[in-house]
Amino acid sequence: MPTTAAARAGTDRAPIVKVVFASLVGTAVEWYDFFLYGSAAALVFGALFFPSSDPVTGTLLSFGTYALGFVARPLGGIVFGHFGDRVGRKKMLVVSLFVMGLATVAIGLLPTYASIGVAAPILLLACRLAQGFAVGGEWGGAVLMAAEHGDDARRGFWSSWPQAGVALGNLLATGILWLLALVQSDEAFKAWGWRVPFLLSAVLVLVGLWVRLSIEESPVFQQARAKLGDRTHQPLLEVIRRYPREVLIAMGMRLAENIGYYLVTVISITYLTTYAGSAADKSMILSALLIGSGVQFFVIPLVGALSDRVGRRPLYLIGAAGLAVWMYVFFDLIGSRDSGKIAIAVVVGLLLHTLMYAPQAAFFSELFGTSVRYTGASVGYQLASILAGALAPIIALKLLGDVGQPNTTAVAVYMTVASVLTIVAVLAARETARSSLNHDRTLD
């Protein structure tokens, strides 16, 4: 019986759908864990682990441990990228998810400063470093599994789903915190309620591991591995020697996207609860972030598909420029303490971020050759995270200054500088939409 075109399409689509689902679920779990820390740092960690400081200083110190998670991410990207380019993407994705789960559950079990003194923030730091190390290897593997299983014409769509997993992870983290804030008093939340989301991670990790263990290795990687044969292969050295320009481009492209995201999702919480309002406004900003993350989750694949039609660069440029402009009104809307205006501020900010974030996975994958793609994409992505996401909350709080007279214009200028650097990087990159992933300077 002859095979119809529709039947062949369905057969071809089944593996990629399964791989994309595995990448989506695993990424959502990893980033649920990672974002949960950021939200908790803004809400309770300052008081629980750095209680001798005033509120702003305590929050700065908690963001300091938050930032160190980003410092560990390039190391994770290098280690997981090295083995991901040598032994396979799938194995590294399973390991990264397991490490992240252990670190997050451990945070939920940590005694606070009141119980064990200075050992508490030290243990918190150790757990955060483990989180950063794990998530440093997560992103590259997840997007490459989707990109390398997919076809050239729809790579932007397929590889955007792991990016949607980041929004889903934030949605889960924010949703649980919002629910707890709704049903608990501030006293109960600080006493024990904040631990619940971290401990729930154990269930999510088990689900993610089960899904990831069921998928096949990337066929593009297997072909490149066969060509390499027994040749000595050092992915990091190959990236430095053959792809330095691409690493710098990827880092530049990350700046506006990463800084903008953390200003919208993390600093917004601190600004409303510490600078423009009070702890009583916590549920208001969490509700807005919940709505924004939900909208972003559904929009990311649509923008990813659009990037297959119009290209990666135009969308990226619009997103970078848009966030620079939006940040000048963002804090006024947040400071209004009006739930509708706060929701608009967050949703628009996340939509502009999506114009960069949705095509980013395909864009970065297409910049590097197969034998070094995991390492190259991860290093470019994660090194920028130190300069961008790690420092963004700290720099923003410093720029805001005193609680009585916050300088929101300075933060907007900070966003503008990041956007200009990203625009320069995008203009320096070639358009990669619909290009083949079967290229490799190491094998040429």
Burial of 368 (0-12, 13-18, 19+ CB in 10 A): buried
pLDDT single digits (tens) 86-127: 888 888 988 988 898 898 899 899 998 888 888 888 888 888
Q: How far apart are CA 200 and CA 191, in angstroms?
A: 17
Instruction: Find the helix packing angle between 282-310 and 312-335, rounded to 10°.
Output: 160
Contact 35, 173 (CB under 8 A): yes
Tell me how far CA of residue 88 lies from CA of 171, 218, 249, 269, in angstroms: 30, 8, 25, 39
Q: Which two tokens stand for residue 326?
A: 């939006």
Angle 119-149/339-367 helices, nearest 10 degrees?
A: 60
The per-residue pLDDT for 412 is: 96
| Beta carbons within 8 Å of 138's beta carbon, 6+ residues apart | 26, 27, 30, 76, 80, 93, 96, 97, 100
Confidence check: pLDDT of 54 > 60: no
pLDDT at residue 6 greater than cutoff 60: no
Residues 43-62, mean pLDDT to the nearest whole number? 69
Percent above pLDDT 70 for the chain? 90
386: amino acid identity, one letter: I
Mean pLDDT confidence for 269-297: 84
Are residues 141 and 374 in contact, defined by beta-carbon separation less than 8 angstroms? yes
What digits encode the pLDDT tens for the residues 168-223? Answer: 888 888 788 778 877 878 788 878 888 888 888 888 888 888 878 888 887 888 88
Q: In b/e form, how buried is each residue of 211-228, taking b as 16+ CB within 10 angstroms? A: bbeebebbebbeebbeeb
State the pLDDT at residue 135. Answer: 83
pLDDT band at 269; cut points 50, 70, 90: confident
Mean pLDDT of the chain, nearest integer: 85
| pLDDT for the residue numbered 156 | 95
Residues constituting the chain: 444
Nearest to 265 by CA among 45, 63, 42: 42
137, 84 Cβ separation under 8 angstroms:
yes
Which has the higher per-residue pLDDT, 16 or 68?
A: 16
pLDDT, tens digit (0-9, with 9 covering 90-100), for 132-155? 898 888 888 888 888 888 888 999
Q: How confident is the model at residue 25 (pLDDT cuts 50, 70, 90)?
A: confident
Contacts of 300 (CB under 8 A, 6+ apart): 160, 161, 163, 164, 167, 354, 357, 358
pLDDT at position 59 is 65
